[in-house]
A and B are shown apart, each in its own frame.
Chain A
Amino acid sequence: QQQVKQSPQSLIVQKGGISIINCAYENTAFDYFPWYQQFPGKGPALLIAIRPDVSEKKEGRFTISFNKSAKQFSLHIMDSQPGDSATYFCAASTGNQFYFGTGTSLTVIP
């Protein structure tokens, strides 16, 4: 059973556009929601993370929106750039056990 459901599986965006990736979860015990970015041949790198006591967190061009009642959270990449082309994973965690979404392959076209 997939604890965290991620969509879409792949996404193509024009340079300068907004990329949006969505995740949903069921376990209300989750208390930490990170997003990771992974380039080919590399391990996932932490991009941005949020805890359920806030509804939004912004770091540069990256924003997490969190809806506790709907048990959903999303990553918004503003002004998307070709260098943002990578695979993005959402995750949810409680007690040092992390559950990952299946990943979204983002391609930003110049």
Chain B
Amino acid sequence: KAGVTQTPRYLIKTRGQQVTLSCSPISGHRSVSWYQQTPGQGLQFLFEYFSETQRNKGNFPGRFSGRQFSNSRSEMNVSTLELGDSALYLCASSLGGQGVTDTQYFGPGTRLTVL
């Protein structure tokens, strides 16, 4: 089975621009979660999508948004980029069944640099 894939792997943007990151989960996985990873803050939870609906949300400003498509692929968008948004953005997928906590599998991440 193919793992979680993320595109692009690297991005360089300037302040004020917007960016869209893409994640394809493992086949059969319906839950996709997004995380921001920085050296100082570790892994910070952004949001989780299941069956095209945002099911959980972390404490990030509204500039960070996401969506999930009917094939479980997910996109994350960051508008009005700030220097502090430079980070590794990780996507993780899981089966996502209700009432069951199962394993999350991570993609390789997208390295975003904001200049």
Contacts and interface: CB of A to CB of B under 8 A. Distances in A.
Interface of A: 31-32, 34, 36, 41-46, 49, 89, 93-103
A48 to B, nearest CB: 11
Interface string B15-27: 0000000000000
B81 interface: no
Interface in B1-48: 4, 31, 33, 35, 41-43, 45, 48
19 contacts: A36-B106, A41-B108, A42-B109, A43-B108, A43-B109, A44-B90, A45-B106, A46-B103, A46-B104, A46-B105, A93-B101, A93-B104, A96-B31, A96-B94, A96-B96, A96-B101, A98-B104, A99-B45, A102-B42
B108 A42 contact: yes
Q: How large is the interface on B (under 10, 10 to 19, 20 to 34, 35 or more residues)?
A: 20 to 34
Given A44-B43, A44-B106, A45-B106, 20 more contacts: A34-B103, A41-B108, A42-B109, A43-B4, A43-B90, A43-B106, A43-B107, A43-B108, A43-B109, A93-B101, A95-B99, A96-B48, A96-B50, A96-B94, A97-B48, A98-B45, A100-B35, A100-B43, A102-B41, A102-B42
Interface string B75-115: 00000000000000010101010010111111111000000
B63 interface: no
A37 B106 CA distance: 11
B56 to A, nearest CB: 5
Given A31-B101, A49-B103, A101-B42, A96 B55 contact: yes
